[in-house]
Amino acid sequence: MLSYSAPLDDMSFVLFDLFSADEQWARMPALTDADKPLAMAVLAEAAKVAGEVMAPLYQASDAEGAHWRDGAVSAPAGFKGAFRALAEGGWFGVAGNADHGGQGLPKMLAVPLEEMLWSANVNLYLYGALTVGAAVCIDTHGDEAMKRTYLPKLYGGEWTGAMALTESHAGTDLGMIRTRATPCADGTYEITGTKIFITSGEHDVADNIVHLVLAKLPDAPAGSRGISLFLVPKHLPEGNRNTFASGSIEHKMGIRGSATSVINYDAATGYLVGAPNGGLANMFTMMNHARLSVGIQGLGWGERAHQTAPAYARERRQGRASAGPKTPDDEADSILVHPDVRRMLLTQRAFTEGGRAFAAFVGLLLDRAKCAEEAPDRKSAQAFVDLLTPVVKAFLTDRGMEGAVLAQQVFGGHGYIVEHGMEQIVRDARIAQIYEGTNGVQALDFTARKVLRDGGATLKRLLGEMVEDRVPAEFAAPLSEALAAIEAAIAHLIAGASSDPDLPGAISVDFLELTGLGIYAWLWARMAHLDSDSRHHKTEVARFFYAKLLPKTRALLASIEAGSGSVMSLPEESL
């Protein structure tokens, strides 16, 4: 059976050696109560829940799956009790608004916590993962009565959240939705329509499910400008069952223990969140939270896969080392002596530990954006968060999927067999590149909206801050080259986009990957600089990253500078 042990030592290194989190929090009045002893106590307790309560249910929940019967959905065996343990532990409210039942701890601390929950059992955590995003959305855009009614229950895990956007004909293009909201005399709205792919839209692990639903009012403008946001609870405040139900659950490649529903709203009672026709902008509060969370999910896959593969490689004996037997008394050496196996394991480690540092950095930016004393500092941090959100979502999930496949490859034929669990990790990891906005859409958002729209100013400012950091001499030149490649990509985008409207889309995936590799190069150089006693072996892994992974930036820049011609020239009928 697959097991999970939280990487607390590396989490501590990232938080307190790399980013001096306790010093950062001490400079933010709202976070001065947070320090290293408190943070590590929280993470240690979360590690117990992840390893002892959640992880043992992972493989069984995939085999059993969720169940649908006459509109009711039941989660796999053991999920109710495990979810109750998460709720009673307060794990959904760690960084929540303390005025409404949250604990008010730093977002930077919530990042490694969430990594554990994703790593341990994605099927289980998906029943509560959107709860935090729903709470953030309500806290940001809801009225005071709505906050008082819903936030304590959401932070406490008594109720869960769901995000209802997609319709069969409207996925990325939400302006095409047909779900309608009809005003009622009492100030509520009747919501009518069908949504698909709704994660945890119906289940039995919590007492109530709070849907945030996109719909259109009768006089709404056309397209995305006419979308409004509504809170539609499964059970109304007075206790009555609302008039919506699960029409079916999807039969999926992976995450089979998580119920993904078709939801039919039949004049269901809804409450307007924010201003009429401002729903898409309001929902982006939840969507961006979800995208960051899914990026951390990708990190979780990388960690789970990397924990499993080296352990197998140490035990698996095949062949001999090229330079001669390492263990001559045994029939064969462990496969760790083979360079290609080491390449796969080091690639996993470089991307996983680099991803952990990147996620923590964005967590720190979120704390600064909310809690920094000076308004310019808050504004600057928020600009970086907005810029990096699509990079977190896409780059971390791409690397998580890569890590899962590499781990399966280390297992060889055994990785293809159900009992070892690697094929489940590969199946489950795949969805993170698709939901909450496909990674291609994230790349286009990053390139066309985040970079092109401000002429690359925010990304250049971030690169400027990276250049100022002290790094070991052996990494200085290749780091400068990688960051210069990003600068060159920005220049190419700015120069060519006005005359070639296909350029941003044609180069976007390469541009995002180039940026991700550059950020990891910066973080690995910083980690190597701090690892003076080599206790964490950061310098050795950094050397591998710089020698074997970072050179891809040259190919990516060449692809970017090749433009859109070869992508768009073939006639559609020939594709």
Q: Using CA atoms, how far apart are residues 351 and 122, in angstroms rounded to an integer?
A: 20
Residue type, 452: L
Count Cα atoms within 13 angstroms, Cβ side, for 213.
35
Chain centroid offset of residue 390 CA: 10
The conformation of residue 76, written as its DSSP 8-state character, comes to: P
Each as own residue / partner, the long-range contacts of residues 366-372 (CB below 8 Å, 24 or more positions apart, any chain) are 366/107, 366/108, 367/24, 367/25, 367/28, 367/31, 367/106, 367/107, 367/108, 368/24, 368/28, 370/30, 370/107, 371/28, 371/29, 371/30, 371/31, 372/27, 372/28
Active-site entry in 114, 115, 436, 513? 436
Supply angle C-alpha 290, 295, 301, rounded to 5: 125
DSSP for residue 447: I
> From residue 215, how far is each of 174, 177, 226 by CA, in Å?
10, 7, 9
Q: How far apart are CA 15 and CA 299, in angstroms?
A: 16
The bridge status of strand 72-74 relative to strand 189-199 is unpaired
What token pair was written down for 285?
């509060």
- Of the candidates 319, 341, 340, which has an alpha carbon nearest to the alpha carbon of residue 330? 319
Q: Got the DSSP string for 189-226?
A: EEEEEEEEEEETSS-SSSSEEEEEEEEB-TTPPSGGGG
257 and 61 in contact (C-beta within 8 Å)? Answer: yes
For 2, 49, 281, the CA distances from 135, given in Å and listed in that order, are: 32, 23, 16
Report the amino acid identity of residue 252. K
Query: 170 with 192: CB under 8 angstroms?
Result: no
Is 436 catalytic? The answer is: yes
Between the alpha carbon of residue 358 and those of residues 72, 299, 403, the distances in Å are 40, 10, 16
Residue at token pair 């790094």: 471
Question: Helix, strand or coil for residue 545?
Answer: helix
571: Cα separation from own chain's centroid = 36
End-to-end CA distance of the chain: 44
Count Cβ atoms within 10 A of the Cβ of residue 417 and give its class: 0-12 exposed, 13-18 middle, 19 or more buried. exposed
Look-up of token digits 């990276």: 466
| Angle formed at CA 166 by CA 160 and CA 167, multiple of 5 degrees | 125
DSSP single-letter state for residue 240 = P
Catalytic positions, written as ranges: 436
